Structure 1
Amino acid sequence: MNNIPRIVIHVGAPKTGSTYLQKRLRADPAHLRRNGIYVPVLPSVAQMAGNAKLLATVLSKRPSLSFERIFPNIDVTRLRPAAIVSELLRDWRSDEEAIVLSAENFRPEHAGALRELLPTCRSCVVVLFVRRQDQWIESYFNQLTKTADVAEDLSSFVTRLCDTQGERFCRPDWNTHYEAWRHAFGACNIIFYDEARSDLFSAFLSAAGLPIVPDLIEVPPAQVSLNIHELAYLLALERPFSHADFVRHRVAGEEASKRLASGVRSILGEAEHEKLRQRFEASNHNLLTALGRANEPKLLQLTPSTRRCDLNEVYASDDYVRYRKLADEIFSARSLDSV
């Protein structure tokens, strides 16, 4: 490897191709390592795509609901970040290869603590993908709804991310992310999702200063978005319910969508869009200025969608009524099968 050995930290953000990048990094680790790139995996949480998600979770000391369901026996308040870092770095050949630590749940408040935990004798590169907040927040809300990590409408979710910090969720103030990681590590390399989406992996390698790896196994992009009927169906479920019932409803909704196609449309209202614009427009400008790209405002320009719809209109539509009936029938049949 011609480049100086280094530590590469991929800090997300979520909903910018993170799962795809993480799965591809782990698809053929031996081949990557022969090309000077080491991706360690902790056996206790190997099923997670991001190899440093446990570290980020322990730094927060507040796991997501999904994490608690998947790893009920892991008490993050009893784990030490230093011990996790030591395990991640244990087999790293620091004189001859780069190590990649990837977790889209790294937050700005983690930057200083992580810098202190990593060896200072090796250079570090931080990579952050960013995306315009109006498109990003719907995709993020979709994912959290699908995993049952949120149970609220999009309007209240937008308000929460605009007005509160909250360690469980990512706040899309990209300039704050950039400044925190730049301050702690000396630099933070930014990738604009919309510029790189045709080849996210190559964009990541380039920003990390890593070599392009020939013949690396490709993996399909993760499909986690819900179409408008699936989202409406999950949001309308009467609570409380068990997680097992929620999963059966979600699977039933997915199966109904295969039989009754529905497009993906925006449910971000004008008021919520304006709230995002007021909260993040100045921050976006500051980030673009810091990157020397202030003359390219469209990179993060928040513009209302022309495919916007109102959920109340969706619920009242004949298409949704047919969809809901089919999804409920599938759910009932699957529930009987499980008895």
Structure 2
Amino acid sequence: MKFLVTGGAGFIGSAVIRHLINETDHAVINLDCLTYAGNLNSLDSISQNKRYTFTKVDLRNAAAIEEAIKKYRPDIIMHLAAESHVDRSIDGPDDFIQTNIIGTFNLLEATRKFHSTLPKERQQQFRFHHISTDEVYGDLESTDELFTENTPYSPSSPYSASKASSDHLVRAWGRTYNLPIVVTNCSNNYGPFHFPEKLIPHVILNALQGKSLPVYGTGSQIRDWLYVEDHARALITVATQGEANETYNIGGHNEKSNLTVVETICSLLEELSPKKPVGVQYYRDLITFVKDRPGHDQRYAIDATKIQKELNWEPTETFESGIRKTVQWYLENEDWWLSVLNGDYRLERLGN
């Protein structure tokens, strides 16, 4: 089969592409506009493979998307391209509206037109897989409940609101135009090649440079952590085996507070990188509590029973095994993250 992956130079997209090339016989077309968070270096290991193609396309350019889909005629479209950082959405929501909502609309329209030209059998086999987030469900504060596929939407940030909007568009195109869609909503991802504005790589790299480790509020916010390679495997399973017009929640079964995550990283660095920057006695001494983010949700947690029962997927990494692999990867791949830090991005977060 031929997969077209939008946002394939991003964190999750590149993990999906590496898995498709290394573990399957499928062909992959990577459509990415290479914003600040897109990094083709994350695909160096498979970039010369004959089954891999990269094309620079901006989802906001409807004509370019339509041309690419007509040219490559994919069997499956996996839509991962999105602006995804909550802090940035608070500072500047416009890019999130344009990319996550208008970009998804453009992709859906191009896909609808292409799908209508396919023979009946290919129409039925085709899948448009929209990858979304658990943040669309809102906050689970003061409850032991989990997000299920039927949890009502209640987004809190411009980012999650834009993703909720795109989810609704995808389901509407499925129902109105009989486009065979599937939607997945995942918990917080982490792992190798993660752009350093996100919590885990941000803490690792700041600690290695002797910089403060900013923690919002008291750090009591709870997230369910999912190792990115487990997520990639789940996404491919859904794209190839999921029922049309269904939603699947994907979680790691690893609820941790933000402060626990930061402290775990500090402990691992004490073991794996004991030679510290000048003036640092213990990594955890760098922890700094900063003003909480506006509208900060207290807890997210996924019920992944459906994908486990129906598609036989479950995560292989615990948080303890996954975070150790992640810290070790950053210690061993300084060239990758230095190239990122030497670009437009600097180690800064809202509130710091």
> Structures share a fold, TM > 0.5?
no
Normalising by structure 1, what TM-score?
A: 0.35
> Which is helix-richer, 1 or 2?
1
Structure 1 or 2, whichever has the larger Rg, is 1
> Which is strand-richer, 1 or 2?
2
Normalising by structure 2, what TM-score?
A: 0.34
